[in-house]
Amino acid sequence: MKRTYVIGCGKLGASIANECSRRGLEVIVIDSNPSSFALLDEDFSGDPKVADASNLDTLRALGLENAGEVYVTTGNDNLSLFLAHASSTLFHIPYIYVRFDDPALGILVQSESTIKPVYPFQLTRDRLNRMKFGGND
Amino acid sequence: MKIVIAGGDSKAEYIIKSFKDRKNELVVINPSFEVADRLKKACFVNVYHGEPWSHIALEQADAFDADLFIALCERDTDNYATCLMAKRMFNARKTICVVDNPNNVEYFKKLGLDSVISSTYLLSQSIMNESAVESLTKMLSLDDNRVTVVEKVVLSKFALCHKAIKDIRFPKYASIAAIYRNYQIIIPGGLVVLEPKDTLVMVTAPENVKALVRYFETEAPEARSRKSRVKKPTAPQEKPEKPAKPAATPAKPTQKRTRKKAE
């Protein structure tokens, strides 16, 4: 089975990793700060790794090249952008999900079909609009 | 030329000062308020405070259609995003991305940036050149390490010393660009005879440097010890170009030696 990589173990990254682990996927979580792994479940079955995600050689050593899918949830949009592009162009990972705080960065990933960007800003705004002005969820 | 200088502290200051000119239109943008303020006072230019990788900031700083866009931020990935933004959204003609991690040079290029410079790489190269005293080999890589310029000093013990270029069977994978002798540049022709202390500037591909150095440092089989002792009085006089016969090599020092004794 191809492994799932989660880069950035913040609140979002940790919850994605927990979810994938619960669903029986083989998960590798990467973060530069070991204390962030405290957010993982007690019965988390995946593999937490301490590594600097801005260094592609380290990620390669952790086997990112053979990933089945990757979730990029670092706290830095520029780092996320770079990791998304690298995962797509250099490592040819078929499914890449990226969280961006700045929706303007979407323009830089839209040409690549394997990269699926998610913008919490837009999601929140749309949801709030719907709550206020009605419409379907 | 319209030049955008994004991020950077002392590097930015230096580059601003070297490009500041009536002919150049400079757009300076810096993410740190303190640095932006300092640059403004130090260089007498307008500095826009904002994150250079943000679309809005670049728009407000009017960074469109730059002829040259230089990204000098601290983090490599910030410069990556800045250059991509400049290229794709702001129609920059040439972007220069400065990186800290030398390995990123290759990766960033594969991801579509046209010019990536690693200060660490350049630093290590100069350190190597500075420390290369004992081997007397200086090197400079050009065009992203596709061309290497090698500088070597001719020693009297080398096989190619005292020989004409046409006779030394110089390897085909390299070429002699210039000879530096007595503070003068000599353009190498087949008849130029190599003398001790000549500095040869040679051009080759990076993978051939080792072979070139090995060829260069091949020592003459004959009269090694004798020659090095007699080397001192060799006055660096301009000799008329003469075809050096292989036999002339061992003969010359002996002549000088006898002459010296006679004096």
CB B4 within 8 A of CB B86: yes
- Residue in chain A closest to B101 (alpha carbons) equals A55
**SS3 (DSSP) at A88:** helix
Strand B68-71: give its sheet, edge to edge: B47-49, B25-30, B2-6, B68-71, B95-99, B115-118
In sequence order, the β-bridge partners of residue B29 are B6, B48
Checking if the pLDDT of A136 tops 80, the result is no
Q: Look up the ipTM and state it.
A: 0.91
Q: Which two tokens stand for residue A34?
A: 């070991």
Number of other residues whose CB lies within 10 A of the CB of residue B86? 27
| Domains parsed from chain A with CATH numbers | 4-133 (3.40.50.720)
Tens of pLDDT along B46-96? 999 999 999 999 999 999 999 999 999 999 999 999 999 999 999 999 999
Is B55 close to A76, i.e. CB distance below 8 A? no
**String of b and e for B44-56 (b: at least 16 CB within 10 Å)?**
ebebbbbbbbbbe
User: Is some CB atom of chain B closer than 8 A to the CB atom of A98?
Assistant: no
DSSP secondary structure code for residue B167 in this structure:
G
Which of A78, A84, A72, A82 is CA-nearest to residue A8? A72
Of A56, A85, A104, nearest to B54 by CB-CB distance is A104
Q: Which CATH class is domain B131-235?
A: alpha beta
Is B81 close to A82, i.e. CB distance below 8 A? yes
User: Is some CB atom of chain A closer than 8 A to the CB atom of B51?
Assistant: no
Q: Tell me which chain A residues have a C-beta less than 8 angstroms from the C-beta of B76.
A: 54
User: Is some CB atom of chain B closer than 8 A to the CB atom of A81?
Assistant: yes
Q: Under CATH, what is the fold of the domain B2-118?
A: Rossmann fold (3.40.50)
CATH 3.30.70.1450 domain span(s) along chain B: 131-235
Rounded CA-CA distance B59/B37 in Å is 20
Is B111 close to A102, i.e. CB distance below 8 A? no
Rounded CA-CA distance B82/B114 in Å is 13
Tell me the whole-structure pTM to 2 decimals: 0.71
Q: Tell me which chain A residues have a C-beta less than 8 angstroms from the C-beta of B78.
A: 78
User: Is some CB atom of chain A closer than 8 A to the CB atom of B120?
Assistant: no
Pairing of strands A115-118, A95-99: parallel
Q: Tell me which chain B residues have a C-beta less than 8 angstroms from the C-beta of A54.
A: 75-77, 101
Which of B109, B51, B39 is CA-nearest to residue B85? B51
User: Is some CB atom of chain A closer than 8 A to the CB atom of B90?
Assistant: no
So what's the pLDDT on residue B131? 67
So what's the pLDDT on residue B114? 86
Dihedral, CA atoms, A52, A58, A59, A63, nearest 10 degrees? Answer: -140
Checking if the pLDDT of B166 tops 70, the result is yes
Q: Tell me which chain B residues have a C-beta less than 8 angstroms from the C-beta of A76.
A: 75, 77
Give how far B202 is from chain A: nearest CA, Å. 34
User: Mean pLDDT lowest for which of A69-83, B101-115, B136-150?
Assistant: B136-150
- Residue in chain B closest to A86 (alpha carbons) equals B111
B55 sits in which H/E element = helix B55-60
- DSSP of B221-233, one letter per residue? SSSHHHHHHHTTT
Rounded CA-CA distance B49/B111 in Å is 28
CATH 3.40.50.720 domain span(s) along chain B: 2-118
Q: Which two tokens stand for residue A135?
A: 């419409």
Q: How many CB pairs under 8 A join A and B?
A: 53
Q: Residue type for A128, please?
A: L
Tens of pLDDT along B203-232? 998 888 888 988 988 888 765 455 445 444
User: Is some CB atom of chain B closer than 8 A to the CB atom of A90?
Assistant: yes
